[in-house]
Amino acid sequence: MRVAIRVKPGASRTRVGGLHGDRLVVAVQSRAVEGAATEAALAAVAEACGVRRRAVSLVTGATSRDKVVEVDVPAGDEPALQALVEGLRTGATRR
């Protein structure tokens, strides 16, 4: 499942939730230096979705705040993950 995200580096704490346009907001403590914020964002998305870090990969946006990530989920779990992502977009936050 692909998810469009907006990364906000340098946040006071890491959190996933809310919207920036049509993108899911991922705030991370890491600064945007040498891919640290991107890696932190991928880890935060994995934790929020309840999957291992290796199940989340970057599709586009390596040097941009706007990114698209792919979340690999077991067959049959896609509806549950879609519901979780929609919940995060509506304002529920997870660490």
CATH class given for the domain over 2-85 = alpha beta
- The pLDDT assigned to 82 comes to 81
The yes-or-no verdict on residue 95 having pLDDT over 50 is no
Distance CA 91, CA 72 (A): 23
Question: Dihedral (C-alpha) 11, 4, 73, 28: value to the nearest 10 degrees?
Answer: -10
Q: For the segment 12-69, what is each residue's pLDDT rounded down to a tens digit?
A: 999 998 889 989 999 999 999 999 999 999 999 999 988 999 999 999 999 999 999 9
- pTM as predicted: 0.86
The yes-or-no verdict on residue 93 having pLDDT over 80 is no
